Amino acid sequence: MDAAVAVKGLKKTYGKVEAVKGVDFEVAPGEVFGFLGPNGAGKTTTISMLCTLINPTGGTATVAGHDVVSQRDRVRQNIGLVFQDPTLDGYLTAEQNLRFHAELYGVPRSVVDDRLRQVMEMVALWDRKDSKVMTFSGGMKRRLEIARGLLHSPRVLFLDEPTVGLDPQTRSAIWGYINKLRLTEDITIFMTTHYMEEAEFCDRIAIIDHGEIVVIDSPEALKASIGKDRVQLQTGDDEKTIALLRDRFDIEAAVHDGQVTFAVVDGESFVPRLFADLGLPIRSVSVSRPSLDDVFMSYTGSTIRDAEAGDGNAWMRAMARGR
């Protein structure tokens, strides 16, 4: 089976700035593939090249088997796009917006009505089809855009930060649609996000940082690759605990969210040893499996929020070193 998206050495430079530094990856048909990275990492630039919105500086990419430079219109026919910013005509009704799209994409007239109803029912907007889009909330607009992106049955649906700026309810609704889509339609989904919780829904994710892909794998495999669990302690004397952890167990710990936090292999069996050997009162203890946050930290050396805000986190750095 041919790859839905195949990218080799794809590169984009703006003047001296290398926005995307030659990335390689393939997305299999039917996959939900996520690009995870902080703002400015090159996600939108990559997606824009795949959607034929900007021309690559170097490398090649095919989408649904068509080259993004030489077969631009064939690519465009086979992809659906949902951008970060709305691209709807507020003065037209929801249905008029979708019919406009159907005509532009050449959807056969005989199927337009059925397909229109199908996608609008999917995003629960069928009863609002005659309302002008300007009366819609942000979440409704995004849902309508998803419906529109699916109208011409694209082989690949590109979602650029599909849930950014939406309320939690709409976000979970959108994930509901995406999960339903992979069951009901023969479609590949390519999305970008900087929300860890959303990356969890993807079959595979590519972590992108500073224009380069750091690692590609399934969320489970990535979490397993770290091999350490996160242990958090509430103690009477945090500083002393940290010092003792260093002396007796050779573990670098730090206070994070008011708790002594550190990473260790096989956390559950470490805890009994900790109680036996530490000799300090421990008020509570928790052990958790690594999250994608930890994965991101481990592979890029900073958290995704750090990359955007700039706050260090010692226990995560310890994890990065320990890998």
Partner 1 sequence: MTAEVAGVRVPPMTGSHDLRAIKVVLHRELLRFVNDRTRMITMLIQPILWLFVMGTGLGTLVRGVIPGIDYRTFMYPGMISMTVIMTAMFSAGSIVWDREFGFLREMLVAPVSRGAIVVGKCLGGAVVATAQGVIILAMAGLVGVPYSPTLLVTLLGEMFLAAFTITAFGVLLAARMRNMQSFFGVMQMAIMPMMFLSGAMFPLANLPSWLHVLTTVNPLTYAVDPMRQAVFGRLDVPAQVDALLNPGVTWFGWRLPVILEIGLVAAIGALLLGVAITQFRRAE
Binding site for partner 1 (CB under 8 A): 1-2, 29-30, 51-54, 73-74, 76-78, 81, 83, 85-92, 96, 99-101, 103-108, 111, 115, 118, 150, 152-153, 184-186
Neighbours of 9 (CB within 10 A): 13
Comparing CB distances to partner 1, the nearer of 113 and 197 is 113
Comparing CB distances to partner 1, the nearer of 59 and 86 is 86
In the bound complex, what is the minimum distance in angstroms from residue 66's beta carbon to partner 1? 11
Chain centroid to CA 207: how far? 9
DSSP per-residue string spanning 222-257: HHHHH--EEEEEEES-HHHHHHHHHHHH----EEET
Sheet holding 229-235, edge to edge: 254-256, 259-264, 229-235, 282-288
In the bound complex, what is the minimum distance in angstroms from residue 37's beta carbon to partner 1? 23
In the bound complex, what is the minimum distance in angstroms from residue 135's beta carbon to partner 1? 13
Comparing CB distances to partner 1, the nearer of 164 and 278 is 164
Quote the CA–CA distance of 290 and 223 in Å, as a whole number: 6
Comparing CB distances to partner 1, the nearer of 78 and 303 is 78
Comparing CB distances to partner 1, the nearer of 130 and 257 is 130
Reference 188, options 8, 25, 23; nearest CA is 25
In the bound complex, what is the minimum distance in angstroms from residue 303's beta carbon to partner 1? 32
In the bound complex, what is the minimum distance in angstroms from residue 103's beta carbon to partner 1? 4
Quote the CA–CA distance of 195 and 280 in Å, as a whole number: 38
Comparing CB distances to partner 1, the nearer of 114 and 257 is 114
Task: Give me the phi and psi of 230, to 5 degrees please.
Answer: -100, 125
Reference 263, options 297, 239, 238; nearest CA is 297
Comparing CB distances to partner 1, the nearer of 20 and 292 is 20
Report in angstroms the alpha-carbon separations of 217 from 51, 94, 196, 206, 238. 23, 38, 14, 7, 37
In the bound complex, what is the minimum distance in angstroms from residue 313's beta carbon to partner 1? 37
* 267-275: long-range contacts, CB 8 A cutoff, minimum separation 24: 267/228, 267/229, 267/230, 267/231, 268/229, 270/231, 271/231, 273/249, 274/231, 274/249
In the bound complex, what is the minimum distance in angstroms from residue 86's beta carbon to partner 1? 6
